[in-house]
A and B are shown apart, each in its own frame.
Chain A
Amino acid sequence: MAGLQEYKCPCCGGAIEFNSDVQKMKCPYCDSEFELEALLKFDNELAAEKSDSVEWDLGETVEWNDSEKAGMRLFVCQSCGGEIIGDENMAAAQCPYCGNNVVIMGQFAGGLKPDAIIPFKINKQAAIDGMSKHLMGKKLLPKVFKDENHIEEVIGVYVPFWLFDSDVSYFGHYKATKVRHWSDSRYRYTETTTYSVSRDGFQQFRNVPADGSKKMADDLMNSIEPFNYNEVVPFQTAYLAGYVADKYDVTKEEVKDIVTERMKFTADMMLRRTVIGYNSVVTLNKSIQCNHNKAKYALLPVWILNTKWNDKNFTFAMNGQTGKFVGNLPLDKKLYWKFFGMWTGIVSVGTFLLSLLIYYFS
């Protein structure tokens, strides 16, 4: 019966993990590499599982208050007996005592099994290097940020996403005008011809993402898009070894509307672009119809870096597949006004001198 799955190297017994550089399971202790198929057998038992029958090991020595207890789960590491604490969604973790990579199989039982996964392609060092690059060339960043901020954690997370497919039909009704000007010796004429324009459009969307994790900021997850879905592979729990993962806690029904809004925006723009040859166009009516909707559950790789500076927390995210690095940086107000003053001075003086030159040489 699967409760907590540990990934141990068959050669040396060390904690084996998915290595993004070679795209295989690799043991950091003895350097042995294994194809993922070799570890498939652990997953085969998942199919038979039902999500309700997952058992948790709850330690008795730790006291939580009721609300905390509701969201928290305690796991016991089978290698060292250490207690791993996580929330109810935690699906993969490392034992903080012995470094063992564990996957909580129950999170993927039955209907909770992800349809797909994009394995990590960028390794941890690249994520840290990405941070340095992100700080380059930002003239209004406080100079000390680079030196003073401490990276509190760099974690590789498989973030649960809902990927939507839809065949979208879009209808638009517009009022458009064509304007013509001409004149003779006495008058200037303006002719306005008004048209009623309608368009029906159709387009297909594939894999529109919406993150399924409450604790992941949606705008942060939006910003690391897009992922390359050509590199999607069928899900195997082994990919999670060495990383942290959560199962979804936002259902596809809850994110459906956001996704529809995004598709609507694109469909509207595509259709509006076909109304050409007019001087002015006003939209009178529009409607959308989404058919053949499908939602896939996928785990997508994201490096999360949390740093602290000046008593403030900053969160950065890097797309674990493409390397796109995002995160808002603090503004150095003094520098801002200094540059403002400098440029005002330069341009003002320049303009004044230019006007003098023009005056004296005209």
Chain B
Amino acid sequence: MKKHLYFVILTFFAFSLFTSAGMAKASNVDYSEGYFEEKPETFIVDGAGLLTEDELALVNEAIISFNGNTYSKERNFIICIVTTNDLHGKSAVAYADDFYDKNYYKYGYTNGLCLLRYINGNDRYLYISTCGEAITIFNDAEIEFQIDLIADYIIAGDYKKAFLNFIYNAENQIRNYDRITIENNSWNYDDYNVYDDYYEHHKPVKPVFEYEKAIVISLIVGVVTALIIVSVMKSKLYSVKYAVDADSYLVPGSFKVTRSQDMFLSRHVSKTEIPRDSGSSGHSSTHRSSSGISHGGGGRRI
């Protein structure tokens, strides 16, 4: 009887241990499966705990300010950010698409960007998903560029700067795209050193003066020029040469063309295709999410 009880208590403890572990795991929410029950007021979900409470509030404020500008309000355009340690078996693409569809698209935000930061130990990924008008405004090349701009902050782990820059850069891109007017964004990026840091971070590096190259080129130019000068000086010594022409003995005015015929033989046209510039008139690759909504986007392992 005592032995029996001992086993039951042991099993109970083991069970609770596992379930608590399991529950701990279960408390890892899948934000991509509809986190909000009504139209959300929050546009950043920090599942991976990368920001402090204050930073979180700050970034949210910045996004809300962006979402309130004239363009975004008119077009129902939003930016949203999600970080997580667990993709719940989905690909980063699917996770980001679903996060956007089920939390924001569902509530009428049909155009927008979603930034996903996945980090689990050494497994990391950064992904941007686009929906609606954002697909054309942020084409494949532009997405790469946007990631480039915040890559250093992401790698360094400075997520506050990374996210604030992301919002700022996205707004710039929209503004520059076909001269869309964005007004009434009262968020002051200057207060948070986003602006300064951006330029500080992306100042064009002045190339180093390549001494060896300069010396070699100078020498070549010197030798060639000297050779030319010296050859001209040498040629002044020589004045005797055979005459090849009889130009001086042509009776002036005696030259005439007695017969002239220009006859058409053939015509040939060839054409070559102009290579397409995949820069400004770039291409956006799209796919459909699980909800059937078209998304664009791109990401990389950083």
What residues make up the interface of A, taking CB atoms closer than 8 Å to B? Answer: 137-141, 169, 175-176, 183, 185-209, 217-220, 222-223, 225-226, 259, 261-263, 265-266, 269-271, 274, 325-331, 336, 339-349, 351-352, 355-356, 359
Q: Please tell me which one of the listed residues B219, B239, B270 contacts residue A326 in the complex, with CB atoms under 8 A apart.
A: B239
**B218 proximal to A (CB < 8 A):** yes
> B238 — nearest CB in chain A belongs to which residue?
A328
CA distance A327 to B238 in the complex (A): 7
> Which listed residue (A197, A220, A226) contacts B262, Cβ 8 A?
A197
Q: List 25 A-B contacts (CB under 8 A).
A: A139-B233, A140-B233, A176-B262, A185-B274, A189-B270, A191-B267, A192-B270, A194-B266, A196-B262, A199-B260, A200-B257, A200-B259, A203-B254, A206-B249, A222-B241, A225-B243, A226-B248, A265-B245, A266-B247, A270-B250, A271-B257, A341-B226, A344-B223, A344-B225, A351-B218
Question: In the docked arrangement, what's the CA distance between A194 and B262, Å?
Answer: 10
Size category, B interface: 35 or more
User: A179: shortest Cβ distance to chain B, in Å?
Assistant: 10
B122 proximity list for chain A (CB < 8 A) = none
Query: Is there a chain A Cβ closer than 8 Å to B22's Cβ?
Result: no
Chain B 159-178, CB within 8 Å of chain A: the 1/0 string?
Answer: 00000000000000000000
Is B255 on the interface with A (CB-CB < 8 A)? yes
Which of B7-15, B129-137, B145-153, B209-217 participates in binding chain A? B209-217
For A263, the closest partner residue in chain B by CB is B246
Write the nearest CB–CB distance from A248 to chain B, whole angstroms: 19
Which 5 A-B pairs have CB atoms at the shortest separation, nearest pair first?
Answer: A348-B222, A343-B226, A200-B259, A204-B254, A222-B243
Q: In the complex, which of the residues B218, B236, B267 contacts A348, with contact meaning CB atoms closer than 8 Å?
A: B218
Instruction: Chain A residues near B226: list those with CB within 8 A.
Output: 339-344, 347
Give the distance in Å from the alpha carbon of A194 to the alpha carbon of B219 in the complex.
46
When the two chains form their complex, are residues A359 and B209 in contact, meaning their CB atoms are under 8 A apart? Answer: yes
Cα(A342)–Cα(B226), bound, Å: 8
Bound CA span A176–B261, Å: 12
CB–CB A266/B240 < 8 A = no
Contact A266 B230 (CB under 8 A): no
Once the chains are docked, how many angstroms separate the CA of A140 from the CA of B88? 88
User: Interface majority SS on A: helix, strand, loop or mixed?
Assistant: mixed
Chain B 256-292 interface 0/1 with A at a Cβ cutoff of 8 Å (1 = within)? 1111111111111111111000000000000000000
Q: Is the CB of B239 within 8 A of A348?
A: no
Whether B260 lies near A274 (C-beta < 8 A) is yes
Contact B248 A225 (CB under 8 A): yes
Is B244 interfacial (CB 8 A cutoff)? yes
A residues less than 8 Å from B242 (CB atoms):
218-219, 222
Chain B residue numbers with a CB within 8 Å of A201 are: 255-258
The answer on a CB contact under 8 Å between B246 and A208 is: yes
Contacting pair B236 A328 (CB below 8 A): no
Q: A348 vs B271: C-alpha distance in the bound complex, in angstroms?
A: 45
* A262–B244 CB distance below 8 A: yes
A206-B251, A331-B237, A356-B209 known; 20 new pairs, CB 8 Å cut-off, are A169-B258, A187-B272, A189-B269, A194-B266, A194-B268, A195-B264, A195-B265, A199-B257, A200-B259, A202-B254, A202-B257, A203-B256, A204-B250, A225-B243, A226-B248, A328-B238, A344-B222, A351-B217, A351-B222, A359-B209
Q: Who on chain B is nearest to A222 by CB? A: B243
B134 to chain A: closest CB distance in Å?
27
- Given contacts A138-B237, A205-B251, whether A262 and B230 have CB atoms under 8 Å apart is no
